[in-house]
Amino acid sequence: MISLLQRVRQARVEVAGEVIGEIGAGLLALVCAEQGDGELEADRLLAKLLKLRIFADAAGKMNRSLQDMGGGLLVVSQFTLAADTSGGNRPGFSQAAAPAEGERLYDYFVARARALHPVVATGRFAADMQVHLVNDGPVTIPLRIAPAVAKI
């Protein structure tokens, strides 16, 4: 699974002019399931982003996690993170999970996030969304969790 994390002072997502998800200070996580991903990759990605120490401590050093600071988490599905731009000028998205599987893993990811973190808001899978954010820092971090390989 792939995620692009943005540390934010605030963020919201709108669909058809209606705010459907909103947080104050915390993380905006754009999330994409790729072919071969499953619950294990979703769990590993969520664990990493909840514990990633990218928030300032009292000394101003990035030493606190989202869980440490109790900030919000806004999760937005974004299949375009799987873009392949290696050939030509039109990106390909063949590595993204099929829509039904992508939605299943997105829903799983959100459910697990809500079970583990007190403030979770979301976008809407496959909707035309407008995402508004005030990037804090700016701090933007890509995360990729490769599918687990079975050992023989």
In 10 A of CB 106, how many CB atoms? 26
Q: What is the DSSP pairing of strand 2-15 with strand 129-144?
A: antiparallel
Would you name the residues annotated as active-site residues?
Answer: 78-80
* Angstrom distance (rounded) from CA 69 to CA 67: 6
Contact 130, 12 (CB under 8 A): no
Contact 63, 70 (CB under 8 A): no
